[in-house]
Structure 1
Amino acid sequence: MNMAELEDFSKRIQERLASVQRMLDLSIIDLPQNKMKKLGQVLFAIEGILEESEKYVSRQKDQLQHLKTLEQSSQKYLEDLRHLQDNIPEHLPKKKNQVNEPVKVQTNTEDNQSRQPEKVKKVCKGYIKEMEIITIPEYESIPQYMKGRVTYDQLNAAVLCINASVSSKYKILHQPTKTLNNHSRKLHQRFKEQETKDTKGQFFIVEADIREFSETKVDKKFQGILNMLRHCQRLKELRGGGITRYVLL
């Protein structure tokens, strides 16, 4: 109901009330039967108008409540946006490392055509794979029972820890053994012994590597974080020889 309708509504009530007032002023004398009937009609019309006004007031109350709910939601969204603006996470997703991959040039000779199915892509020597940072939508998709009290920043801190451990491990593996000191040479030997045919060409670490190259405690909480990373398809487990290998995907 707009302003014009409201004014018309008020005018109708005033006219009815004025009519009733005139009849009441004449009530000191006997009114004809037709006047009494008209008075009843006027009172009935006023009753209808009052019922209509009550419905209108009820609708306005509902709209007011709806507007208050929208205002609260808008305020919450505004606060969330301000919080995001003031707390931009340090760990932002980044593109995977791209390596220039040499490709063999195809010729028309039968010799080269026969070798065409062979591998044409090679990973540059020294390349070390990194796990991508978990995005906020990925974090929110993790079931609450699995997430527990681990925050978004704690989860990505574990990602950086694993990346650092992988980097330290494969830097040793990429060096000639004769250039390593005694401790690194022992680690190099252990790394080689832990490799299997299933890990060939892949990057993986074990719990001992995390303890070796970081100060992170590999406890029950960290195991839960590994399950979250597995849920986000950042790594997978390969078991064998009494060792669990965490392979980067």
Structure 2
Amino acid sequence: MAKVETINRENKVQEQGNCGSAMDLISSLLAIGNEQSLRSVVSNLGQELAVCHGLLVEMEAEVQQQEKLRDRLKMIKMSVERQRSEAEHLQENVPPYLPKPTRSCNTGPAVKREEATKAECTKKSKEDATAVKQMPLISPEEFDNIPAYLRGRLRCEQINVVIQEINNAVAAKYKIMHQPLKSMKAPARKLYSRFLEEEIKETRGEFFIMEADIKEFTQLKMDKRCYNILSILRHAQRLREIRCSGFVRYIIC
């Protein structure tokens, strides 16, 4: 009994000491806060503590997210291992009554598939070689965005008629270019020679026509109105011009 009372007295003394030390700390902090020279330091410490608190909150959220991701990965790993185990079991326990694969049933369809794939690729490459680039028509929205000084009194339908005529000219020109030389008649051979002479370094790999082609393959008149429409098409990025040796080549974009 005397021992218990002694312990209680010691605890009370310790509590009084803790209270005294806490009061001393509070008094010290109040004294610091009242000092003008230390107020800025205390304010900076408070701001830094707030920043640290925000970083700790972000780190806690990131840790929680990573824990969720870890749990999901564990579930995926368990599922993959289970499926692999099932696949290995099926491979080791194939029923004996199932038919075994033979050489004929494996190679035959594979060869046919390979031949069909080669034929399809050959057909596609031929189509790509003869494909001709065409200009898309001008939409009403694009027409409205064309500057008024270019449009003038032109209508969207009139511009699209010129686009269709130029597309027809391009198609006619490159139809001749893609023909075998031996199958050409004299007029086509003459045009083919002119097309080759008109090729320059800047037009390699491009589809283009010249004024002579427009006159040859269309009913368009190369007047002021037609040149104005060509300027509109250049503004709308349907074609671009290359000027060389006094001639204009219209590149299809």
1:155 to 152, 159, 172: 159
1:56-75 → structure 2 map (5 Å cutoff):
none
Higher helix share: 2
Question: Which amino acid is 1:160 matched to?
Answer: Q
Task: Please list the CA deviations of residues 176-208 of structure 1 after superposition, one character each: whole Å capped at 9, or x if unmatched.
Answer: 122111111110000111011111111000011
Matched, 1:175 2:179: yes
Which residue is equivalent to 1:35? none
Paired residue for 1:217? 221
Map 1:92-107 → 2, pairs under 5 A: none
- Shift in Å, 1:213: 0.3
Alignment of 1:16-165 (within 5 A): 124-165=128-169
CA distance in 2 between partners of 1:150 and 1:178 (Å): 45
* Deviation per residue, 1:15-66 (Å, 9 max, x gap): xxxxxxxxxxxxxxxxxxxxxxxxxxxxxxxxxxxxxxxxxxxxxxxxxxxx
2:3 corresponds in structure 1 to none
Q: Could you tell me which amino acid in structure 1 is paired with residue 180 of structure 2?
A: P
Q: Which of the pair has more CA radius of gyration? A: 2
**SS at 2:131's partner residue?**
coil
Pick the aligned partner of 2:194 from 148, 169, 190: 190
- Any idea what SS the aligned residue of 1:131 has? coil
Query: Are residue 238 (structure 1) and residue 242 (structure 2) matched?
Result: yes
Instruction: Render the CA deviation track for 1:67-98: whole Å, top value 9, x for unaligned.
Output: xxxxxxxxxxxxxxxxxxxxxxxxxxxxxxxx
Give the Å deviation of 1:122: 9.6
Aligned-residue offset at 1:123: 7.6
- What is the CA–CA distance in structure 1 between the aligned matches of 2:179 and 2:126, rounded to whole Å? 19
| Residue 205 (structure 2) aligns with | 201
User: Normalising by the residue count of structure 1, what TM-score does the alignment of the two structures yield?
Assistant: 0.51
Structure 1 residues 123, 213: closer, same or farther in 2, change over 3 A? Answer: same
Count of residue pairs brought into register by the alignment: 131
CA RMSD of aligned residues (A): 1.8
Query: Once the 2 structures are TM-superposed, how far is the Cα of residue 174 of structure 1 from its aligned partner?
Result: 0.4
CA separation of 1:128/1:147 partners in 2, compared to 1, >3 Å: closer, same or farther? Answer: same
State the distance in 1 between where 2:220 and 2:181 align: 27
Q: Deviations over 1:141-182 (max 9, x none)?
A: 111111111111000000000000000000000001221111
Q: CA offsets, 1:217-237, max 9 Å, x none?
A: 011110000000000000000
Counterpart AA for 2:213: D
Between the aligned residues of both structures, percent identity stands at 45
User: Aligned equivalents of 1:139 and 1:161: distance in 2?
Assistant: 18
Name the CA distance, whole Å, in 2 between partners of 1:123 and 1:171: 12
* 3-state SS in 2 of match to 1:236: strand
1:224–1:188 CA distance, 2 compared to 1 (3 A) = same
Mapped partners of 1:236, 1:187: distance in 2? 23
Which residue identity does 2:170 align to in structure 1? V
In the alignment, structure 2 segments of 5+ residues that lack a partner are 1-119
Structure-1 residue corresponding to 2:53: none
Aligned to 1:244, the other structure's residue is in SS state: strand
Separation (CA, whole Å) in 2 of partners of 1:123 and 1:145: 41
Aligned AA (2:160): N
